[in-house]
Structure 1
Amino acid sequence: MTTEGHIKQTIQKDKQHQSLYNDPLYVVENINEDVVVVDGCSPCAIVLTRVESTGIHIQDSSQSSHCESIASCYGIACDNVGCILVSDWGSHRIHQIDMDGKFIQFILTQQHGIQSPLGLSIDNKSQLWLCNNDGKEVNNLQVQIMNSD
């Protein structure tokens, strides 16, 4: 939207005019200017949508095989190398996915004290901020976020 409240662009359908999303909940943009959407809460899909500057949709991918292991998405963030972090409230872990939608690793789990993670953010120092629901707290965590190369 513009500062006047006018919609500048809508991403809704693919090249075949099929709906891209069933229940879009969370959205971020990565370093490639891809639109990354959590579609649905449980089960969820992570949909990466590449859009040209003209607004024409050029590619999307949904990693349904990986997303079946995500019990319930409640937060999403992108780091400075293009990786996507997804908080998984139901499985008590943070998933790291590369900029093409492929699973890399779990960066935090219950073994790290993560209980029902909700919102997350990565600040300009590449530190992870996480809302940990069961602890009723916000944590600033230093984690090793691996590049997918």
Structure 2
Amino acid sequence: METIILLAFWSVPVVLGYVFGRAAESRHYRSIIAREKEQLKLPATSLKTPVRSGPVARSELVTGSVVISIDYFKKAASALRSLVGGPVKSYETLLDRAKREAVLRLKESCPGADEIVNLRLETLPLAGSQRNQVTGVEVLAYGTAIYYADAGQA
């Protein structure tokens, strides 16, 4: 009887974490995909020089950042993975969502820009109270927004 109670004590939060975590992750991915379709017209590249030629009216540093926390299921899955070793696949979607969201926020911060050059991403794991415990991730996207002088004529 005690074993069943102990098993329920550990499995119920993991199952709830999986169900609600997947739902939140799916909702976030749907939002990202819809917003990426809207931002297709604004190219972003890691090149240091503009892709298009022409007179530049102005340029500015633009940023976008996001902090995404890890859900209970991912935390439990990574704890199990740390026992056996290997890649932690549950964190891959966390990083993917964070990077894409940061780039979207960067693009949304510069309405009217013609392109973004020198795009860079910085990633920082957020540590918990225990050693080597990751509770979330912060991603900062930054680059240079280029506004061309003849953008209205194109």
Give the shorter-chain TM-score range. Answer: under 0.3
Structure with greater proportional strand content: 1
Greater share of helix residues, 1 or 2? Answer: 2
Q: Which has the higher contact order (CA 8 A, sep 6+)?
A: 2
When normalised by structure 2's length, the TM-score is: 0.24
TM-score, normalised with respect to structure 1: 0.24
